[in-house]
Structure 1
Amino acid sequence: MSKIKLILIALMTTLALSSCNSKTTSSISDSNFTTTTTIITTTTPTTTSHTLTTTKPSTTTTTSKSSTTTTTTTTTTTTTTTTHDYSSEISALEQENNRLQGEISTYQNEINNEQSDISIYEIYKSDAEDDVEEAKIQLENANKKMVKVYGDGGWTTEVDSEAVSKAQSHLDDCQRVVDVYNELISESQSNIDYYNTCISNNQSSIENNNSLINDYRSR
Structure 2
Amino acid sequence: MSKIKLILIALMTTLALSSCNSKTTSSISDSNFTTTTTSTTTTTPTTTSHTLTTTKPSTTTTTSKSSTTTTTTTTTTTTTTTTHDYSSEISALEQENNRLQSEISTYQNEINNEQSDISIYEIYKSDAEDDVEEAKIQLENANKKMVKVYGDGGWTTEVDSEAVSKAQSHLDDCQRVVDVYNELISESQSNIDYYNTCISNNQSSIESNNSLINDYRSR
TM-score (norm 1): 0.64
Provide, for residues 111-139 of structure 1, a one-character-per-residue CA deviation record: whole Å limited to 9, x for no partner.
Answer: 11111111111111111111111101100
Provide, for residues 61-100 of structure 1, a one-character-per-residue CA deviation record: whole Å limited to 9, x for no partner.
Answer: 9999999999999864211333322221111111100000
Contact 1:33/1:57 (CA < 8 Å) preserved in 2?
Answer: no
Contact 1:149/1:158 (CA < 8 Å) preserved in 2?
Answer: yes
Q: 5+ residue gaps in structure 1?
A: none
The CA RMSD measured in Å over matched residues stands at 19.8
- Judged with a 3 Å threshold, the aligned counterparts in structure 2 of structure 1 residues 60 and 83 are, in CA distance, closer, same or farther, namely same
Provide, for residues 9-50 of structure 1, a one-character-per-residue CA deviation record: whole Å limited to 9, x for no partner.
Answer: 999999999999999999999999999999999999999999
Provide, for residues 171-190 of structure 1, a one-character-per-residue CA deviation record: whole Å limited to 9, x for no partner.
Answer: 00011111111111111111
Q: Offset at 1:104?
A: 0.5
Greater CA deviation, 161-170 or 64-73? 64-73
Contact 1:129/1:174 (CA < 8 Å) preserved in 2?
Answer: yes
Contact 2:20/2:45 (CA < 8 Å) preserved in 1?
Answer: no
Percent identity, aligned pairs only, is 98
SS in structure 2 of the partner of residue 183 of structure 1: helix
Q: 5+ residue gaps in structure 2?
A: none
The equivalent of 2:85 in structure 1 is 85
Q: Offset at 1:214?
A: 1.0
Greater CA deviation, 36-45 or 187-196? 36-45
How far apart, in 1, do the equivalents of 2:193 and 2:30 lie? 125
- Judged with a 3 Å threshold, the aligned counterparts in structure 2 of structure 1 residues 31 and 175 are, in CA distance, closer, same or farther, namely farther
- Judged with a 3 Å threshold, the aligned counterparts in structure 2 of structure 1 residues 30 and 206 are, in CA distance, closer, same or farther, namely farther
How far apart, in 2, do the equivalents of 1:99 and 1:111 lie? 18
Greater CA deviation, 149-158 or 185-194? 149-158
Q: Offset at 1:217?
A: 1.4
- Judged with a 3 Å threshold, the aligned counterparts in structure 2 of structure 1 residues 26 and 118 are, in CA distance, closer, same or farther, namely farther
Provide, for residues 139-162 of structure 1, a one-character-per-residue CA deviation record: whole Å limited to 9, x for no partner.
Answer: 001001111112222222111111
TM-score (norm 2): 0.64
How far apart, in 2, do the equivalents of 1:74 and 1:81 lie? 21
Contact 1:27/1:37 (CA < 8 Å) preserved in 2?
Answer: yes
Contact 1:14/1:43 (CA < 8 Å) preserved in 2?
Answer: no
- Judged with a 3 Å threshold, the aligned counterparts in structure 2 of structure 1 residues 204 and 30 are, in CA distance, closer, same or farther, namely farther
- Judged with a 3 Å threshold, the aligned counterparts in structure 2 of structure 1 residues 148 and 77 are, in CA distance, closer, same or farther, namely same
Contact 2:15/2:21 (CA < 8 Å) preserved in 1?
Answer: no
How far apart, in 1, do the equivalents of 2:67 and 2:95 lie? 70
SS in structure 2 of the partner of residue 149 of structure 1: strand
How far apart, in 2, do the equivalents of 1:35 and 1:165 lie? 210
